[in-house]
Structures are given as C-alpha cells and as structure tokens.
Amino acid sequence: MPQPTLHFEADAVVANGNGHLMVRPKGGEPLLGEIKSVSGQVQFIPRFPFLAGQIYEAVFTDSTGERISIEHTFAIRAPAPRVSAAYPSGDALPANHLKFYLHFTEPMQRGKIFHHFQLIHLATGKLIAEPFRETELWSADGKRLTLWLHPGRQKTGVNLNLDLGPVLEPRQQYALEIAQNWNSEAGVPLKNSFRKTFTTTEADRVQPNPDAWKITPPKANTRAPLIVRFPRPLDWALLHTMLTVLDARDQLLVGKIEVSRNESQWRFTPAQPWATGDYRLKVDWELEDLAGNNLERLFEVNLDNPTEPALARPRYLEFKTK
C-alpha cells in the first residue's frame, strides 16, 4: 500500500489516501472548512483564506491509523499596511478634543484592537489610563477608523469625568501611538509604528459661527474653486458631508471637496463651470468643531443652567460669481 502524503496548496490542503484530515493554526483550534474526497485524495478547503505569515499544521490519519503531520507558513504577498493620514492634522488640539480619524493603506483586522493604542503624557512619560471609547467605528472598506477619546471623561461633571478626570489637560503635550504588531486583514503587520504628537490648548466651549467665515467666490465661466476659511479647525469628516453648494434654483452642485490648512480651509471645485449669478453655501447644523460643538448646541451642556435647545436647521451663506 502506498504511503500517504500530505501537502499545502494556495487555497487547500491535500492528502493522498483515505482518512481524516484536520488543519489548524499551530497551537490553535481546528479551522472551519469543507472536506472533499476526490480520486483517492482528501482535500480540505478553509472557509476563510489562509493568512500570510501564519504557521498552519495539517494532520492526516489514514484508514490504517497511520498518522502524518506537516507545518506550513504562507509567504507574505500582501503589502505591509501603514497609516496614510491622521486627522486632525494639526498639532494643537483643544483640551476637550473628541476624536481622531485614522486612515490606513490596507483594510485592518477588526475586533479587540484597543490594546494596540496608547496615549502618553510626554512630560511624565506616563500612559493615560482608559483614554478611549472602546467602540470600533470603521468605514465600510476597513481602511478608516474613528478613534474617540472617551466623551464621558471629556464632559465636565459627569461620572467618568469626576471619577477618572479628563483625558487631556490644557497646555500639555501628548502622543497618540499605534503599535507595529497590528495586522491588516491579510495578516501583515504595520510597516512602522505610528505616533502623533500634539499640544493642548484651553478647552473649546464656543459653537462654530458661519458668520465669521471668509468666503472667496470663484470667477464665472471657470471651474476655479470656491474657498471658505474658518477661524479655527473643524471636524475633518463632517467637512466632507455637512457643506454643500446650491445654485439659484436650489439645485445641488456636483463637485470635488478638498479640506486643507489643518482643517481650517474648505475648497469646492465644481464638475461644470460656474454660471454667472447667485449661489448659496448650505451648512448643516450637525457640523462640529474638534470638541464636538455644533451650530445649534455645545457638546457640553451646563446642567446647572440648562438652556432651551435651538431649532435644528441649516444655515445658508450667499455668494455671487461674476
């Protein structure tokens, strides 16, 4: 009787002979998958693709009870992920700052990710305890993570703020770090660890005010950008969704949005040339600054002196092209 053989293929494990085949990460639990018996071979096809860099063990026991096993590590073919952008992009943040947007070049592994992050107080070198809201907020493609500092600690007077204190203090330097051993979905670790250093200013408890914005209208019959400048940075993601341009008939214009100058400048380039005439910039009330204050209310409400909530409605800023 020929001796049984066992080998790995790109998307399967194949044993020659009849018997039982088990495949698992080395030291782990057996993988889920499909077993096929074809022409004197037993094939195991995993439910999920094999991960690059992972050591797998295959064990085959044939009908006579003879047992063979092999190990295999799939070559890393996927590129190493890296952090391609982090917002806010500036290095001065209010002490009641709320969230970071982290962009990656590859989809990242999800689930139980927060041990890869730490926030350091640079003057003392100490880690800030429990700084994050441990809820994973991912874009659909797995390439953008919204990382919240815990809002319960950033709001004055609520339980977590009283028990643990705020995450950030004014006029201090901090570093947000991401460990290199965080893997992409393909099982490849980050190319480099990531660090963003920043200095805190006083807490921001002022609502964004569109009346303080500076609008530079474009010239008619061109595709020059409409430029809007803000006196202080606003939320990077919301600047891509909460500002829109309407023509004289209140029709939405299609175009490209660019956010720059540490999120204090917004540019809109239309798909078609500007006509001569009147336009409006629509500002939805949900637009926030870095501390979560929006056009209608502050993120932090004074519980000792509550005010009636304003009617949530957009603001409109008019401009002309000539």
Over residues 247-266, mean pLDDT: 98
Domain ends where: 149, 175, 201?
Answer: 201
Higher-confidence position of 310 and 148: 148
Range of the domain at 65: 5-73
d(CA 205, CA 202): 9
Q: Quick check: is 138 in a domain?
A: yes
Nearest to 223 by CA among 264, 267, 261: 267
Query: Do 104 and 46 belong to one domain?
Result: no
User: Using 50, 70 and 90 to split pLDDT, how confident is the model at 311?
Assistant: low
Q: Quick check: is 65 in a domain?
A: yes
What is the number of structural domains in the chain?
A: 3
Any idea what the CATH number is for the domain that residue 91 is in?
2.60.40.1220
User: Using 50, 70 and 90 to split pLDDT, how confident is the model at 309?
Assistant: low
* pLDDT above 70 (res 290): yes
Query: What pLDDT sits at residue 238?
Result: 99
Query: Do 96 and 69 belong to one domain?
Result: no
d(CA 236, CA 260): 9
Average pLDDT, the chain: 92
CB 108 within 8 A of CB 217: no
The model's pTM: 0.76
Any idea what the CATH number is for the domain that residue 60 is in?
2.60.40.10
10 Å CB burial of residue 70 (0-12, 13-18, 19+) is: middle
Tens digit of pLDDT for each residue in 166-201?
999 999 999 999 999 999 998 899 999 999 999 999
Q: Quick check: is 117 in a domain?
A: yes
**119 contact partners, CB below 8 Å, separation of at least 6:** 127, 128, 131, 132, 149, 167, 174, 175, 176, 177
Query: Do 175 and 115 belong to one domain?
Result: yes
User: Using 50, 70 and 90 to split pLDDT, how confident is the model at 307?
Assistant: low
Q: Which H/E stretch holds residue 199?
A: strand 194-201
Tens digit of pLDDT for each residue in 227-246?
999 999 999 999 999 999 99
